[in-house]
Structure 1
């Protein structure tokens, strides 16, 4: 049985003190548009080398330019206003001001983590994973909505052996987490709310990523297919390519049983561009692989789910290609940016897409640009040119 411990006020204060000792507390720089002149609504956080911009979600005007570390990853916290920023000390909270139309700020609040990694939002929880310890931090998402100067209460589920992993907590308290160590990652384990093991599966080399579909069907990617957890059981879904058919990330909608995964079948292929997708039906418990049209390639940052539970792929030809997960067909194509080449390293700035409602936000690092696209029409409804090359992107919905 795993042990759980709840953070105390002292730990929250320690996290703040540690941050203050190691980094400066950046404040918002003068912005193109004062946040006082805006109303609550979506805000877009954009990381760049050494900083984070916060943009108004409608006009794309810059509301704040905040100092940060050289490379940071951004994930929406789930409360509509905050973004988790992966910093040296852990997950630092960026308040975009989306919920109240206030000035964005990179707060002093940090959830401590050794090598912060994946962030998962599900069932009213925001779940943080520390690769350096395999500890999982669980926060009630609603507690992030009205923060003062202290961290909200949170629960830490101690890990076993450190690895690059991910965890998710389901509605009934079931805890799913990856299994691995310094030598590799092998599978997942499921435990009930009391910590008793429900199920486990070790047939998932290189396990990576997580996605929760309709009915709390949870998919984890493997280098030979995927694992599907549903109704207390783990099912292995084998890839058509063996021994190597890697699904690394799951793109899901919680109102659809269909999952789209990135897919690679050549372990020796150079670069990060991919030309196939995995399609998983969590009800039929099937996995198939679909080749995309010639010239349509993408990276892990370039797939999102959106209107109609369809998948939207920002490809290297500069267009958003609309994919029907039920058939694997491309049903529409929206030209948005210039054609681009894949990155030399995955951390390098390259185009990305995130979706909220009917709007996709698309980055174009080669042009220092960000675009808002209406996915119901394909129309680019707003664009902006920045002084920096955008890298990671996250959206706070404002609700």
Structure 2
């Protein structure tokens, strides 16, 4: 029986698929580019440079010291200036457009948006499902920004009020929202209200659920279907459910060092796991699904900063105050290798004193070194320094954006620019369902590999209304009739599917069910209109009992090709599934925002 995907199983699958990807030949049209945004500790400015060509450099004035966040898949960067009551926004100049089997990359110069946000002490920023939630700690509200619009140079925001001002956060969760909750008044001797827990709210801030206790709640991250936050009692996990969020407290186990808590969390993107601090000199690997939920990692010195490797979920990296960078093995919950990379930076003093910050850039770890006025480039394979970039002033907070994509030409500045995506599906007649049997070929499960999200929630919350209106412009139904039709077609309680190798994992309310599947051929179906479709079928070979015996893919393709979305049928009766033509749960890459899905659908 295959174990539910937790840290160990999930990472092993990711490592396997990652190794295969590294062995693949490099396409000459593939371009990799990372751009580094650096905030100065003392001066109100942001310096930007291309990692491979640091002479490609830009500088932007801001209002104060900046905490930088790459958002919307790196297409934009946000500069939160807590002490200056201001938030600035930048177009990063690197746009990655995912199309399932590949990404297109478009590169231009970075630029600052003219519009800014102002308010009393902005602090925590959450980037999730195309929404940015910026908490204004002394204002008692969060500004919600459309992340997709930032990449187009537009700032659209609305406000969600909180019951009272406090140092906390608001986060999107499923079709709703959650917010931290604080006491009515400062406790005697305290400078701020006591943070009590987390509560579900409506879009106007109205509470719609009870407060879940999470004393001193601080730090938050998303991983898979889970939102997690650190508490005095443990780590609080939250998943969306049909009747509201499902909240569970993972209590700190007795074998963890006493008297310490988690206040900073990072979410793994390719599986459901978190890496958090545990006191000043420790880390914890948190599995929200399987026990043990916590695995402790002791550090030889106090922690300065830590990061996860988005390209290889097995590893994280942590910098300690002696100037040593450590590679963390997430599988073994242990430090694997260490190397000295900077002079010592003591953690004594104020939390905001100038100390190094780290970020990932593909095969490199990028480290700011404020006292040396450098950004250091470290090989993640050897932990050796492979270069430095001088940055005037005192480089402090950093954000790295970029990645790899296909291009079809080069601009005057020697950067590649992608042409617009044609949304071609090969032969349009095949896409419409008109083809010869001789054109059909077997397809591997790898055609559907990836992390996929259901579009059903977007239909329910109105996100897809523009798609329905677009269909009505040339179709035989009204927008309302199309929505009713797709209400039946898209309906599902499986909000997410991941496919790694031969393992398929279904997520219902954040809970995974996994099984291995083997090729079971294909079937050709003829529809009432006379057009046809092909179901590519896979049969369960082993796995969780609750996992379906058969899965059948339909994506309008009839030969091997990486898919950009698909319709999936599943159940235990192979023949009965072939009769199902009214309900076809539909999945798009989880990396796509709601706006990007609307764009893709309207282009089809």
TM over 0.5: yes
Gapped runs of 5+ residues in structure 2? 1-30, 96-105, 184-191, 405-604
SS at match of 1:308: coil
Q: 1:248 aligns with which of 254, 263, 279?
A: 263
1:95 to 2:99 alignment: no
Query: Bigger radius of gyration, 1 or 2?
Result: 2
Listed as ranges, the matches of 1:207-226 within 5 Å are 207-214=217-224, 216-226=225-235
1 or 2, which has the higher helix percentage?
A: 2
* Shift in Å, 1:211: 0.7
Change (3 A) 1:283 1:52: same
Change (3 A) 1:304 1:317: farther
Q: 2:352 aligns with which of 321, 340, 347?
A: 347
* Shift in Å, 1:285: 6.1
Can you list the C-alpha shifts for 1:329-376, whole angstroms capped at 9, x where unaligned?
112334433333225211111011112433321111221111223324
Tell me what 2:198 maps to: 188
Tell me what 1:177 maps to: 179
* Shift in Å, 1:293: 4.3
Change (3 A) 1:286 1:120: farther
Q: 1:67 aligns with which of 50, 61, 64?
A: 61
Can you list the C-alpha shifts for 1:216-256, whole angstroms capped at 9, x where unaligned?
11110113322111243211122246984321110111222
CA distance in 2, matches of 1:224, 1:263: 12
Contact 2:181–2:211 (8 Å) recurs in 1: no
CA distance in 1, matches of 2:354, 2:344: 14
Listed as ranges, the matches of 1:307-318 within 5 Å are 307-309=311-313, 310-318=315-323
Can you list the C-alpha shifts for 1:26-71, whole angstroms capped at 9, x where unaligned?
xxxxxxxxxxxxx993221111111221121223346123333342
Contact 2:176–2:203 (8 Å) recurs in 1: yes
* Shift in Å, 1:85: 1.4
SS at match of 2:296: strand
TM-score of the two chains, using structure 2 as the length reference? 0.53
Tell me what 1:44 maps to: 36
1:294 to 2:297 alignment: no
TM-score of the two chains, using structure 1 as the length reference? 0.77
Contact 1:46–1:390 (8 Å) recurs in 2: yes
SS at match of 2:149: helix
Q: 2:325 aligns with which of 313, 320, 323?
A: 320
Contact 1:95–1:107 (8 Å) recurs in 2: yes
Can you list the C-alpha shifts for 1:52-95, whole angstroms capped at 9, x where unaligned?
21121223346123333342222223252322112434321133
CA distance in 2, matches of 1:113, 1:77: 21
Contact 2:307–2:360 (8 Å) recurs in 1: no
Change (3 A) 1:167 1:330: same
Tell me what 1:234 maps to: 247
CA distance in 2, matches of 1:376, 1:142: 34
Q: 1:116 aligns with which of 98, 115, 122?
A: 122
Contact 1:43–1:395 (8 Å) recurs in 2: yes
Q: 1:365 aligns with which of 370, 374, 377?
A: 370
SS at match of 1:246: coil
* Shift in Å, 1:203: 2.5
CA distance in 2, matches of 1:116, 1:306: 27
Tell me what 2:287 maps to: 281
Tell me what 2:502 maps to: none
Change (3 A) 1:345 1:129: same
Contact 2:366–2:377 (8 Å) recurs in 1: yes
Contact 1:61–1:384 (8 Å) recurs in 2: no
SS at match of 2:286: strand
CA distance in 2, matches of 1:200, 1:356: 41
CA distance in 2, matches of 1:69, 1:135: 21
Tell me what 2:389 maps to: 384
CA distance in 2, matches of 1:217, 1:114: 30
Can you list the C-alpha shifts for 1:161-209, whole angstroms capped at 9, x where unaligned?
1011112213x32312211154211111124679775654443221111
CA distance in 2, matches of 1:396, 1:163: 31
Q: 1:158 aligns with which of 148, 157, 161?
A: 161
Change (3 A) 1:66 1:207: same
Change (3 A) 1:146 1:221: same
CA distance in 1, matches of 2:205, 2:64: 38
CA distance in 2, matches of 1:335, 1:59: 25
Contact 1:209–1:250 (8 Å) recurs in 2: yes
Listed as ranges, the matches of 1:195-210 within 5 Å are 199-210=209-220
Tell me what 1:131 maps to: 137
CA distance in 1, matches of 2:298, 2:222: 24
CA distance in 1, matches of 2:350, 2:204: 41
Gapped runs of 5+ residues in structure 1? 1-38, 265-273
Q: What RMSD in Å do the two structures reach over aligned CA positions?
A: 2.8
Contact 1:114–1:132 (8 Å) recurs in 2: yes
* Shift in Å, 1:110: 0.8
Change (3 A) 1:210 1:200: farther
The worse-fitting range, judged by mean Cα deviation, of 175-184 and 58-67 is: 58-67
